[in-house]
Structure 1
Amino acid sequence: MPAWETLKKHQNELIRKQLEGSTFIAPITSSAISTLTGADKALLALPAGYNDVGWMSDDGAQFSSDVSTSDVTSWGAVEPTRRDITSDVTTLQCVLQETNKQTIGLYTGVDMSAVVPDPTSGEVAVSKPDRPPLRFWRVLTIGVDLSDAGEIYMARFLPRASVSDKGDQAFSNGDDPTAWDVTLTGYMDSTLGYSERFYFGGPGWEALLTSMGF
């Protein structure tokens, strides 16, 4: 029998963290993300319409999955004999710290393309709709890690997402800034055929392909 030190394969260089990152949103009419990096392993420019929502809280971009199942139980079995996934929903929650056109629009549900500052005072007024329409966005979150070979990019793309919840907002002079806390839920894009896609790339990623088993 092989010794434990021979049998195990622990590779600390494969442990990833997202040291920094950004979330980008675009109107649903914008092109979907098809490729994150180019032949030189560098990030490609994003399609027209994608805008960075800016600084987020230390929690970063929090992805959650809500999976529901349906079980079949059978006579004599002490555990389900069949299990089917009936729902698998991804949500993205982020506390946006910048006050800008993107964050105001996400939080209020207002179409900001029609909002213009007062030509004299620069004041902006936004009226909360009585029944906000369900607005859909393309949402891309990119996290960046570092390795000896360079940057490693891990991204999650929601091709069709909408704001499904928002947190409280405090006006105060405490340590926390005025924030725009939103939760986006991903849905199936019928044209693309998926509700979420993961991307991995960068020079650091390419250098570790063999170690990761690819």
Structure 2
Amino acid sequence: MPNFGAITKFNTRLVRKTLTGGLWIADEDATVLTRSNLLGADGTFATLPLDYKFSGLTTTDGLRAARAQEQEDISSWQLREPVRSELTTDTETVQVDFMETSKTTIELYTGADLSNVTYVNGAFEIPKPELPPSRYYRVLRVAIDLVDGEEYYFINFYPRMKVTNFADQADTREGALQWGVTLTAYNDGDVGYSKNHMQGGPGFALVAEDMGLPAVTVAP
């Protein structure tokens, strides 16, 4: 009989850690991002369309992505476990606390559109309406690890997201003023999905076969 060592195989090169990353935000009519326009022939990042704005520094909690599912079970009189189970909801969210006060973070937190902002006596204002409008965004979420010094990309593109929750905002001399939001993903009928998950980069190419995937061939 084989012992435990004979039936196991560990590979520490496959243990990933997200060392850095961020969010890019664009209006809901911006360019849809795919492997073809995000990455160049050499597997590294291409230049993003100008309408995607980097949201800046976040707290050390980084980007907290979550997925929640609900199922409806059908039970029978005779059996103690469900006889059938149907998925009813499948929701993805991203929670983030922004540290930079910018047009992008203010718009996300308030729901306002500051594209045509005007100043009076050097100040702008955002009156809160009775029924704040729902604004949808395209969102690019990127996290990066290193494999032998080469970047490994975890990329998630959400074609339609909306801010659905807000973190408390504390006025205090300890720590940075934060703009914390939770973004919820919705299906975009034009592109046919609510999230597109991608992995790539030169670091990914180094370990793709170790992961059980085909070898990666990219232009030098």
Q: Tell me the TM-score range normalised by the shorter chain.
A: over 0.9
Paired position in structure 2 for 1:29: 29
Aligned pair in 2 of structure 1 residues 116, 201: CA closer, same or farther (>3 Å)? farther
Paired position in structure 2 for 1:64: 66
Q: Which amino acid aligns with 2:199?
A: F
Aligned pair in 2 of structure 1 residues 149, 213: CA closer, same or farther (>3 Å)? farther
Paired position in structure 1 for 2:55: 53
Aligned pair in 2 of structure 1 residues 206, 116: CA closer, same or farther (>3 Å)? farther
Equivalent pairs: percent with the same residue? 37
- After TM superposition, give the deviation of residue 62 of structure 1 in Å: 0.6
Paired position in structure 1 for 2:158: 158
- After TM superposition, give the deviation of residue 45 of structure 1 in Å: 1.6
2:92 to 90, 93, 117: 90
Paired position in structure 1 for 2:148: 148
- After TM superposition, give the deviation of residue 125 of structure 1 in Å: 2.0
Q: Which amino acid aligns with 1:200?
A: Q
- After TM superposition, give the deviation of residue 127 of structure 1 in Å: 1.9
Alignment TM-score, normalising by the size of structure 2: 0.91
For 2:41 and 2:4, how far apart are their aligned partners in 1?
40
SS at match of 1:113: coil
Question: Runs of 5+ in structure 1 lacking a partner?
Answer: none
- Greater Cα offset, 93-102 or 10-19: 10-19
Paired position in structure 2 for 1:4: 4
Q: Which amino acid aligns with 1:157?
A: F
For 1:11 and 1:75, how far apart are their aligned partners in 2?
48
- 8 Å contact from structure 2 (residues 72, 85) kept in 1: yes
Paired position in structure 2 for 1:187: 186
**1:152-202 deviations in whole A, cap 9, x for unaligned?**
01011111001101011111111x211101111100000110001111011
- After TM superposition, give the deviation of residue 128 of structure 1 in Å: 2.0
SS at match of 1:115: coil
- Would you say 1:81 and 2:80 are equivalent positions? no
Paired position in structure 2 for 1:202: 201
Aligned CA-pair RMSD: 1.3
Alignment TM-score, normalising by the size of structure 1: 0.94
- Would you say 1:17 and 2:33 are equivalent positions? no
For 2:131 and 2:199, how far apart are their aligned partners in 1?
39
For 2:99 and 2:47, how far apart are their aligned partners in 1?
24
Paired position in structure 1 for 2:217: none
